[in-house]
């Protein structure tokens, strides 16, 4: 291969990247207040984490309610790598995008969302625990 490196512009790569480094923005002026979070729509959502029993000991963990501005594929990739499980993004007509992970990952997912500051503790609803 040639030694040429290039990156896709963020406008082509997808939506909001929660793992991207924050770009240094100029500080607020005297009349402006600094926002605590640069995440999109930080107040108006609730994340539901559920476990669905399959057959025998097999189960699925579903995560729904994340804002559409997040890049679901990057979140899923980080979850899969950190907790050694497989997963996928499901498109549902009623629920929107839903993350599915193999196994009972409810505690892991809630800890991951809190640890990476994607959600606040009161926005995460863990069902069935």
State pTM to two decimals. 0.65
Q: In which domain, by residue range, is 96 found?
A: 47-127
Residue 33 above 50 pLDDT? no
**Residue 6 domain-assigned (yes or no):** no
Q: How many domains does the chain fold into?
A: 1
Per-residue pLDDT tens for 68-83?
899 999 999 999 999 9
Cβ atoms 110, 55 nearer than 8 A: no
Residue 34 above 90 pLDDT? no
Give the CATH number of the domain where residue 61 resides: 3.30.780.10
């Amino acid at each position: 291969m040639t030694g040429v490196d290039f990156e896709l512009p963020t406008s082509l790569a997808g939506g909001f990247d929660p793992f991207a480094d924050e770009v240094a923005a100029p500080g607020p002026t005297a009349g402006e207040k600094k926002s605590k979070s640069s995440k999109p729509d930080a107040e108006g959502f609730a994340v539901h984490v559920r476990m669905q029993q399959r057959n025998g000991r097999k189960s699925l963990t579903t995560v729904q309610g994340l804002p559409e501005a997040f890049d679901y594929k990057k979140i899923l990739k980080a979850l899969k790598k950190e907790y050694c499980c497989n997963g996928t993004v499901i498109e549902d007509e009623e629920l929107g995008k839903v993350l599915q992970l193999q196994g009972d990952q409810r505690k892991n997912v809630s800890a991951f969302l809190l640890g990476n500051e994607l959600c606040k503790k009161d926005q995460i609803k863990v069902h069935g625990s």
